[in-house]
């Protein structure tokens, strides 16, 4: 039953009511019973953030489309509601509170078979608890009955779902396109059999595949010092390790084919095409690059067809060619020229996300700005000093960077953005202050080659958070006081520069949100009590600076972890040893632990000169992914060309 009749009269009382209305171009509303009786499988998909952030999320859009293509599956979307709408829903009407609803047909989330949440950041966990509570779904998995949906997590944060294990029925690691259909088949069969064996039987069928993690089927034992002794299955047939999913042949999955067009303003208003998945550059801090291996490219024809179809179906005027390092596509030059030829003279513009310094060339940049839309260029050196870039295995020299930006400035660009991190392992104050020196040299060189003074350089800085399944998973996180002190010194150094300071923009976040992200990234099941306490104390939208409260998190951690022998610092600022059982050791990303540890030791060894190069172009480095996952790198070149189409 739709709750829209109850919701509509209250919409004028909330901000941006359009975000709750639905009906976007290319959205799908299907009959509740679209298959023979008892065989319809129903998914409520959620990106646990506001509509303006959640709707452009490509992962949710792809799964929404893949599921709805099956005539026996209903898939709808839901997003986090803002506090004013939450108040309206909790107040309700004569029928009681208004439950968490989908934006497609405004059906209650609790009525679906599967409630799937995609987490790209751990700071969305309190939003998940709020959605469960609003939906009327028991917050703890152990309290749910056969009529409650299976609460399923995916996305990058699902590679360590232990902090939210008490609230989840299951988690999926890796690519979702194929596995959501496999899950749907299991649910369909279980329902057709009259829900034989109840909820536990359905979860057992999912778990025994070895590809779906069901936390309740694993017990965690703790040592006296608070560390984990073991994570082991608690019933027969459950695998000791759960494997990630890897989608091969991206050309066979050209999604999204019907991109959603938002009704309200969103953070990204463009059509995005993922030109390849995975990265083997080997940056030691980068979880996304590690967990998405191996590299799998889309062919030039598929990219061209997806762009043409997406523009036609959506009307977007900007196309983003996305991946972790888009300029590394083996045919990126041909893709850029082919698309620029195709859309020259039209209103379609092309863009790349941040580009590696050593992958940039001016011909590529000129192709992407051929229609006259020349945005600023973004590069990510990550480390302020050459020593730090060696530690993180981002082997970009100062000369490389200066030469690249000089080329850009000499060809008409006026704005360059540089992204760095603070708090990396072995970092010193001097390493951070070299960011200011590098920015000065960029401005100086830009003025020299451009012959003018309106040259700008924006320095954007984020705090480093160690992540699971990376060589830095053992690292101690820098405390927020030291992080803020280093940022202050850097800011003052930039401001005190009378000659270049005004040409350098400076953007940064304080260290406190990063500390909490670190707690959630490398936490275990005991952290679930902290998350729940924060939510009960009013925590919502923790990824938004105006809603985030460090004190609320710190106080909740002190209360919830009392008597456990561990605290906030134990999860964050403490370095781990090789033989410590990590909370995610039973979750298999394909990466060999010994390889990760050796890379970690190379990183912190000042005498080491080991550089892990990109295995696309070198012999294998034995990271373990390809043999463990039975996969292989899939790259071009194909030698084919993208044929221009007539502009209508």
**pLDDT tens-digit series, residues 97-126:** 999 999 999 999 999 999 999 999 999 999
Which residues have C-beta within 8 Å of that of residue 571, sequence separation ≥ 6? 518, 519, 522, 523, 527
Q: How confident is the model at residue 351, as a pLDDT?
A: 87
Domain boundaries, the chain: 3-243, 270-375+613-647
pLDDT tens-digit series, residues 547-571: 999 999 999 999 999 999 999 999 9
Q: How many residues does the chain have?
A: 648
What does the pLDDT read at residue 474? 98
- Strand-pairing partners, residue 233, are 218
C-alpha triplet 30, 318, 65: angle, nearest 5°: 20
- Residue-wise pLDDT tens digits, 430-457: 999 999 999 999 999 999 999 999 999 9
Q: What is the pLDDT of residues 11-33, one digit of tens each?
A: 999 999 999 999 999 999 999 99
What's the pLDDT score for residue 359? 79
- pLDDT class of 413 with cuts at 50, 70, 90: confident
C-alpha 261/C-alpha 267 separation (Å) is 12
3-state secondary structure of 506: strand
* Whether residue 76 has a cis bond before it, omega within 30° of 0: no
pLDDT at 634: 95
Q: What is the arithmetic mean of pLDDT over 461-474? A: 97
For residues 535-543, give the mean pLDDT: 97
**Any idea which of 72-86, 120-134, 387-401, 472-486 has the lowest mean pLDDT?**
387-401
Q: Give the three-state DSSP class for 580.
A: coil
SS3 497: coil
Nearest CA to 56 out of 324, 306, 297, 322 is that of 322
Span 282-292, average pLDDT: 96
pLDDT of 647: 53
d(CA 315, CA 318) in angstroms, rounded, equals 9
Rounded CA separation 220/504 (Å): 50
Q: According to the model, what pLDDT value does residue 100 have?
A: 98
Beta strands in 348-477 (DSSP E): 349-351, 377-382, 415-422, 456-463
Give the CA angle between residues 180, 185, 190 to the nearest 5°.
Answer: 125
Reported pTM = 0.96
Does pLDDT of 158 surpass 80? yes
pLDDT at residue number 373: 66
Indicate the class that CATH gives domain 270-375+613-647.
alpha beta
Residue range 401-409: mean pLDDT, rounded: 90
Residue 411 confidence (pLDDT): 86
- Decide: 324 and 629 in contact? Cβ < 8 Å: no
pLDDT-derived band at 646 (thresholds 50, 70, 90) equals low
Question: How does the average pLDDT of the chain come out, rounded?
Answer: 95
Superfamily of segment(s) 3-243: Cobalamin-binding domain (3.40.50.280)
Whole-number Å distance between alpha carbons of 114 and 102: 13
In three-state secondary structure terms, 390 is helix
* Mean pLDDT for the stretch of residues 319-323: 93
Q: How confident is the model at residue 134 (pLDDT cuts 50, 70, 90)?
A: very high
């Amino acid at each position: 039953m739709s709750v829209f009749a109850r919701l509509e009269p209250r919409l004028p009382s909330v901000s941006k009511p359009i975000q709750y209305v639905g009906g976007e171009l290319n959205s799908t509303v299907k009959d509740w019973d679209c298959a023979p009786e008892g065989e319809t499988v129903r998914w409520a998909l959620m990106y646990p953030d506001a509509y303006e952030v959640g709707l452009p999320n490509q992962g949710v859009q792809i799964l929404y489309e893949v599921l709805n293509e099956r005539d026996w599956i209903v898939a709808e979307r839901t997003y986090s509601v803002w506090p004013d709408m939450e108040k309206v829903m909790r107040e309700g009407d004569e029928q009681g509170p208004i439950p968490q609803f989908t934006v497609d047909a405004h059906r209650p989330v609790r009525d679906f078979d599967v409630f799937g949440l995609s987490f790209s950041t751990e700071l969305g966990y309190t939003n998940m608890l709020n959605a469960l509570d609003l939906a009327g779904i028991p917050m703890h998995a152990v309290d749910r009955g056969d009529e409650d949906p299976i609460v399923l997590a995916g996305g990058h944060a699902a590679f360590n779902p232990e902090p939210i294990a008490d609230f989840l029925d299951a988690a999926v690691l890796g690519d979702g396109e194929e596995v959501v259909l496999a899950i749907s088949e299991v649910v369909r069969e279980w329902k057709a059999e009259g829900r034989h064996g109840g909820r536990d039987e359905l979860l057992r069928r999912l778990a025994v595949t070895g590809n779906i993690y069901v936390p309740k089927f694993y017990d965690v034992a703790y040592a006296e010092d608070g560390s984990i002794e073991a994570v082991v299955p608690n019933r027969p047939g459950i695998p000791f390790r759960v494997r990630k999913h890897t989608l091969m042949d991206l050309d066979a999955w050209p999604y999204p084919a019907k991109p959603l067009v938002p009704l309200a303003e969103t953070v990204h208003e463009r059509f995005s095409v993922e030109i390849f998945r995975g990265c083997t550059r080997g940056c030691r801090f980068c979880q996304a690059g590690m967990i998405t291996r191996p590299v799998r490219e889309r062919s030039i024809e598929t990219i061209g067809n997806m762009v043409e179809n997406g523009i036609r179906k959506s009307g977007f005027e900007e196309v983003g060619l996305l991946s972790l390092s888009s300029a590394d596509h083996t045919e990126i030059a041909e893709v850029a020229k082919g698309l620029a030829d195709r859309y020259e003279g039209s209103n379609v513009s092309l863009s790349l996300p941040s580009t590696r310094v050593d992958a940039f060339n001016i011909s590529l940049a000129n192709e992407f700005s051929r229609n006259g839309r020349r945005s600023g260029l973004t590069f990510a050196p990550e480390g302020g000093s050459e020593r730090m870039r060696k530690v993180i295995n981002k082997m970009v020299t100062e000369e490389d960077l200066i030469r690249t930006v000089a080329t850009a400035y000499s060809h008409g660009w006026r704005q360059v953005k540089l992204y760095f991190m603070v708090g990396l392992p072995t970092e010193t104050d001097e390493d951070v202050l070299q960011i200011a020196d590098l920015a000065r040299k960029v401005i100086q060189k830009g003025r020299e080659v451009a012959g003018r003074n309106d040259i700008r350089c924006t320095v954007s800085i984020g705090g480093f958070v160690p992540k699971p399944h990376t060589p830095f998973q053992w690292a101690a996180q820098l405390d927020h006081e030291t992080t803020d002190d280093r940022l202050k010194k850097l800011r003052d150094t930039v401001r005190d520069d009378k000659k270049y300071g005004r040409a350098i923009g400076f953007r940064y976040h304080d260290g406190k949100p990063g500390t909490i992200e670190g707690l959630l990234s490398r936490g275990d099941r005991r952290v679930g009590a902290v998350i729940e306490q924060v939510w009960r104390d009013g925590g919502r939208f923790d990824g938004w600076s105006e809603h985030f409260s460090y004190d609320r998190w710190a106080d909740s951690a002190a209360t919830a972890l009392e008597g456990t022998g561990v605290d906030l610092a134990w999860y964050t600022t403490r370095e781990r040893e090789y033989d410590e059982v990590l909370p995610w050791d039973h979750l298999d990303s394909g990466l060999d632990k010994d390889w990760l540890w050796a890379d970690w030791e190379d990183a912190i060894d000042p005498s080491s000169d080991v550089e892990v190069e990109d295995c696309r172009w070198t012999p294998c480095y034995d990271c373990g992914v390809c043999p463990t996952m039975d996969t292989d790198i899939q790259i071009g070149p194909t030698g084919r060309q993208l044929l221009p189409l007539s502009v209508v």
